[in-house]
Amino acid sequence: MLTLKTLSRLVQQRPSYSWARIPAPQLIPSFRMSSLEEPVRIDSFSKLNSTGRLSRLSSDSSRKRFDERSSAQDLAREGDCSCSPMDVSFLESCMHTCLWAGVISDEYVVGSVSWRKEVHDRNGISSSCMRPLSCCRSYQLLPSGKREIWTLPERHYSSLSEETEIRQLTQKLLRGTPKFVKIVEVGPRDGLQNEKSTVPTNVKIELIKRLAASGLQVVEATSFVSPKWVPQLADAKDVMDGIKSVAGTRLPVLTPNLKGFHAAIDAGAKEVAVFASASESFSKSNINCTIEESLCRYKEILNAAKRLSVPVRGYVSCVVGCPVEGPISPSSIAYVAKELYDMGCYEISLGDTIGVGTPGTVVPMLDAVMSVVPVEKLAVHFHDTYGQSLANIFVSLQMGISIIDSSISGLGGCPYAKGATGNVATEDVVYLLHGLGVKTNVDLGKLLSAADFICKHLGRQSGSKAGIALSRGIRDHSKM
């Protein structure tokens, strides 16, 4: 506990201490949060004072923080300081001096950075602000033996600052971000197709029902592909029979060719999806044909779908890189996306199949595609191989994308893309969006329940960081 005696001794005997750097927890004890945290909503920052903003973003956010409007009298009154009432005025004076004082004889500004000149004693310590010489950029020795030093002053947040500054910053950072995002859940198809062991049909059906109950508008159910190529989805017809009672959620299925399309329609599918690759090598290894040959196949499917009034979604894979060819030109991706859109696909999903994308490569790709396909018709589909999926999603949101593909618990991969790991986890995406103040109509609690269900069956931990943290918080809270 910080006492007046300790404070005085440090001022007199330990000049190397910088009082502006005394961590707040030494002044005020910590406390345990009594409920599960909600995502930090950026659009609500303007309603918080500066202390609230700092504490919400701090890695030690469960601790109270020093509020510059709080006085030493408040601290003494709350019992957090052992000073007697008669010593309070001295403590306030020390706090003010330690936090704000400095010997300033000159100042100049470079851009948004203000440099100050301070005169220090032989030990390299300013007599008033106790700033160590190691904190300084450069200095020169004066005839008096003191040092003249140019420094960057400590930054302090003031709760008296204009709230409009925070609002303007929020608007600048989130400019272009949609108010609502549609999430397309691909776990039951893209997630489970890469499992080594076959998941029982009844488990797939129950997973789809739980995902639909969480509020997800679209859940990709299965794929009508040859069991020879994807044995994990050989029960596509049985899965469709089991989810006929699911209402209020669209349940598209993947159809790689006309035969698969007719099989899907016979099984009761109301919506289908086709996929093409922006990489010739990947197209040949994945669907055994060139890009142009695949586009010809999909024209047949689109024509058949139009006759039956069945909506078709289009996928483009390898939109950033290919496991064989390496980086893919944005113009190649734009070409394939435009071809699918012109055929009649109502929506185009851009997939980073092997997860090599970063904001630096995703932005030019999106810019190229957005020049030929309306942004409201585009979705993004990121794999998290290098941990870049959420960053890529955030920059996509800033560019106006309002449709995101994701997979429960980060399940997935691609059987034909070596090194590709799971998709971005739906729980992480929902947590991010809710934190940004973006609506999804998804109940995160029910989503966690669905994730727990499938992970227990697969016998492994969730691939969602938010899911793990939130589930642990729920368990810890239940023990309190």
Cα–Cα distance, 442 to 445 (Å, whole number): 9
Cα–Cα distance, 24 to 65 (Å, whole number): 6
* Residue-by-residue DSSP string for 95-152: HHHHHH----SEEEEETTEEEEEEEE-TTS--TTT---GGG-SEEEE-TTS-EEEEEP
Residue 264 contacts residue 231 (beta carbons within 8 Å): no
Name the burial class of residue 161, with classes exposed (0-12), middle (13-18) and buried (19+) by CB atoms within 10 angstroms of its CB.
Answer: exposed
User: One of 81, 94, 129, 414 is an active-site residue; which one?
Assistant: 414
Cα–Cα distance, 412 to 141 (Å, whole number): 64
Q: Count of alpha carbons within 13 Å of 267, Cβ hemisphere only?
A: 27
What's the distance, Cα to Cα, between the start and end of the chain in Å? 28
- Non-local CB neighbours of 188 within 8 Å, separated by 6+ positions: 204, 207, 208, 211, 219, 220, 221, 222, 239
Cα–Cα distance, 355 to 345 (Å, whole number): 24
Catalytic-residue membership of 318: no
Cα–Cα distance, 355 to 452 (Å, whole number): 25
Residue 95 contacts residue 12 (beta carbons within 8 Å): no
Residues annotated as catalytic (active site), given as ranges = 414
